[in-house]
Structures are given as C-alpha cells and as structure tokens.
Amino acid sequence: MNYDPDPNIEAAKAAAKERKKLLPAAGVPPVTKDQASAKPSLLEGISVTDTLTERGVRYGKFSEHADITQALKDVMRDTSNWKRLAPYQKEALEMNAHKIGRILNGDPDHDDSWIDIAGYAQLVADKLRGVER
C-alpha cells in the first residue's frame, strides 16, 4: 500500500530510535545501585511528557486504547474456558489484547506490536512444551 507517512508517526519513530540509543544493549548486565549512584541516569533528558507525547502519536489517545483493550479482555474473561487457563496463558492473552488495542487505536504498521504478539504466543507454546523462559 502506498501512502504518505504521517509526519507525527515519523517523528515518534525517530524519537523512539533516539531513546533506544540511550538504553543498554541486550545481554549487558543491569546497572547496580552503586553504579547508578555514581553515573547519571541512562534516561537523563527524556521527560515523562516527551514519552507520553511519543506514545500518544504512535498508539492514539490512552483512554480510547483503554476502552478497546478492556472490551477485548471482557470478552476473553466471559468465555467458559477462561477459568481453565493457567495464569501464564491468561497473562499472554491479556498482553496480546493490550497490543491489539494499540494496533486498532494507533499505528497498525508499527512492527513492534506485531512482534510482541508473536512473542507472547511463543512463550505460551514453549511453556506447554516444557521450555521455561
């Protein structure tokens, strides 16, 4: 599908890339309390307001996302099998409802949401096969 990208979404993507540069790479051990007190915060300079603005552009208004997500969760909880699910299965479904809510309310082309959905499903499949993560 060809379309002109939304400049707000493109700005949010750029801001997210900048923030990822400030976070430690995967596999790097977490910072200890002593290290944290000796060094400035990894997130120094990133305000809550900036984060909320970026998320709002990417995922839409929080209250609208909440309405969608809670409706999805209500449907899941009202099924006859809900009580049979293990806590990890319920959590995976609820996290996927959260991600689906973001997709439906915000940028459906943000691949991270889709990857997260696959990840939660993989965690359940792995656990069912005896693999703990």
Which pLDDT belongs to residue 3?
A: 52
Which tokens hold the place of 84? 């049979």
Which pLDDT belongs to residue 7?
A: 63
pLDDT band at 1 (very low <50, low <70, confident <90, very high): very low
Instruction: Work out the average pLDDT over 116-125.
Output: 97
Closest CA to 47 of 37, 59, 35, 55: 55
**pTM of the predicted protein model:** 0.66
List pLDDT tens digits, range 67-118: 999 999 999 999 999 999 999 999 999 999 999 999 999 999 999 999 999 9
List pLDDT tens digits, range 26-63: 454 555 555 545 544 555 677 899 999 999 999 999 99
> How far from 114 is each of 85, 102, 110, 119, 121, CA to CA, in Å?
23, 10, 7, 9, 11
